[in-house]
Amino acid sequence: MTRDAGWDGCRQAAAALRRLGAAPDRLETLLTAEVGHTESEVVYEERSLELHHYEPDERRHETPILVVYALVNRPYILDLQPDRSVVRRLTEAGFDVYLLDWGEPTRLDASLDMGDYAGRYLDNVLDATCEHSGVEAVHLLGYCMGGTMALMHTALDGERVRTLGLMATPVAFEGTGGILEQWATYFDPEVAVETLGNMPAELLSAEFSMMNPVDQYVTKYVQLYENLEDDAFVENFARMERWIWDGVDVAGAAFAEFVGEVYKDNNLVAGEYALDGQPVRLADIEVPLLTVVGEYDHIVPADSSRPVVDLVGSEDTRLIEFPRGHIGISVSGKAHDQLWPDVCEWYAARGVADTGGSEVGDGTAAPAGVAAVETIDGVGQTYAGRLREAGIETVTELADYDTQLLAAVTDAPEGRVRRWLERAGKHGQ
C-alpha cells in the first residue's frame, strides 16, 4: 500500500462535500492538513523500521521513554497535532522520547513472525536506544499490539526495561476481546496469509471501520458538514481520516501467529505462548507496570487489558481506566488535560533511585562478595528464587558458573544470563 492511499478517506469526504456545494477553501483544508508536527531525528534503521528520537527542550529525567507502536497503521497518531500530541506531552515533561515506526513490509518480508518483531527487532531497538541515550534501561511504553509485543519481550528479557507501560493493549481473550475476538473465532489466518501473503492495509482498515459502520460511514460525515465553518474541526477531521486510511500491510507470518495464538487460542494468558521457542511467562515480569485502558474502547475492550495486572509478577502495578475510546486516550483533549500529566508523573517517580539521585538501571555496582544475586540489574525476585533453589545466593557464587548452565538453571535466555555475568564481574572489581 502506498502512502497516497492514506488520503482515500479525506478524498471521499471531499467528494461528498463537493457534491453538497462546500466552499473550495473547506475542501483545500480537508486535503492539506499536516500530521507529525514534532521534529525528530532517525537514530537507528533496520530493514523498514525507523527509530525516531525526540529531544526535550530541557532534559529532566535520565531514563528515556521508548514507545512501541503496533504493526497496523502509522505511529503519527501519537503526534497528530501540536496540542494533542503524546510525544509533546512526554518531551514537555522533560523526557527523551524514542518512537519505533515499524514501516511497511515488502513481499519478501511475508515470513517475518513475532519472534522477528517482538524478539530480534525490538531487542536491537532497545540496544540502539540505550546506546544513544547513554543508559542501561528505558521506560517501555507500548500502544495496542505494540503493547502486547512489549509485554512479550519484557517477559523474556526485561533487564533493559525500567518500567513497562501499556496503552489499550490486547492480552486476554476469554469472551473479553469484543468484536475482533468474535471475528477471529471464525477466521483462519493461515488460509488468509497463504492466499494474500502480507495482510493488505486496505482490508484491515475496512475491517476496523466495519466495527462501527454507522459512525464511520454516516455519522462523522454528517458532523463534518454541520461544522464546515469551524476551521479547527475540519483540520482535526482531516488528520484523523488520513490516519485511519493510511495503514500499512502486516507481515503474513506475524499476522497469522498473533491472530491464531493470541486471539483465537488465548495462549499468552494460558502460559502456552512461545517466542522463537522460548516460553513467554507473564509472571516473570517484575518491573513496575502501568496499564491504561479506554472505558469506551470497542477495538480493545477494557476487559481484554485489565487482567494483565494480575498476570504479571510485578508488585508495583497501576491500572488507569479512562473514559475515552481506543484512539481517544491518545488524541482527545480530556486525555491531554488529565491522563497524560498523570502518566508522566508515574514515569518520573520510577526513574530515580531512592539514594544518590541516580537513575535505577544505571549499572551502579553493589558491594562485592556478600552481595545477594538480586543486587545485579536484571535478576529480580523470580530469577533470584530460581538461583537460590540451585544453591546460588551471592554475586561471587553466580560468577563461578558459565552462561549455558545458568540459563538451564534459571530457564532464562542466554543473552540475559550473559549480561548478569558481565555485571557480576563488575561487582567484583
- Rounded to 5 degrees, what are φ and ψ at 401? -105, 160
The C-alpha cell of 360 is what? Answer: 535505577
Please confirm, yes or no, whether 326 is among the known catalytic residues: yes
Those residues whose C-beta lies under 8 Å from the C-beta of residue 370, and which sit 6 or more positions away, are 394
Among 53, 144, 246, 344, the active-site one is: 144
Residues 98 and 64: beta-carbon distance below 8 Å: yes
Catalytic residue among 79, 116, 249, 297: 297
| Residue 8 CB partners (closer than 8 Å, separation 6+) | 245
Rounded alpha-carbon distances, angstroms, from residue 194 to 112, 199, 257:
14, 10, 13
**Cα distance between residue 235 and residue 81, in whole Å:** 9
Catalytic residue flag (residue 144) = yes
Out of 326, 344, 377, 427, the active site residue is 326
User: Within 13 Å of residue 191, how many CA atoms lie on the same side as its CB?
Assistant: 4
The three state secondary structure string of the chain is CCHHHHHHHHHHHHHHHHHCCCCHHHHHHHHHCCCCCCCCEEEEEECCEEEEEECCCCCCCCCCEEEECCCCCCHHHHECCHHHEHHHHHHHCCCCEEEEECCCCCHHHCCCCHHHHHHHHHHHHHHHHHHHHCCCCEEEEEECHHHHHHHHHHHHCCCCEEEEEEECCCCCCCCCCHHHHHHHHCCCHHHHHHHHCCECHHHHHHHHHCCCHHHHHHHHHHHHHHCCCCHHHHHHHHHHHHHHHCCCCECHHHHHHHHHHHHHCCHHHHCCCEECCEECCHHHCCCCEEEEEECCCCCCCHHHHCCHHHHCCCCCEEEEEECCCCCHHHHCHHHHHHHHHHHHHHHHHCCECCCCCCECCCCCCCCCCCCEHHHCCCCHHHHHHHHHHCCCCEHHHHHCCCHHHHHHHHCCCHHHHHHHHHHHHHHCC
Told to judge if 336 belongs to the known catalytic residues of this protein, a careful annotator would answer no
CA pair distance 329, 374, nearest whole angstrom: 36
Residues with catalytic function: 144, 297, 326
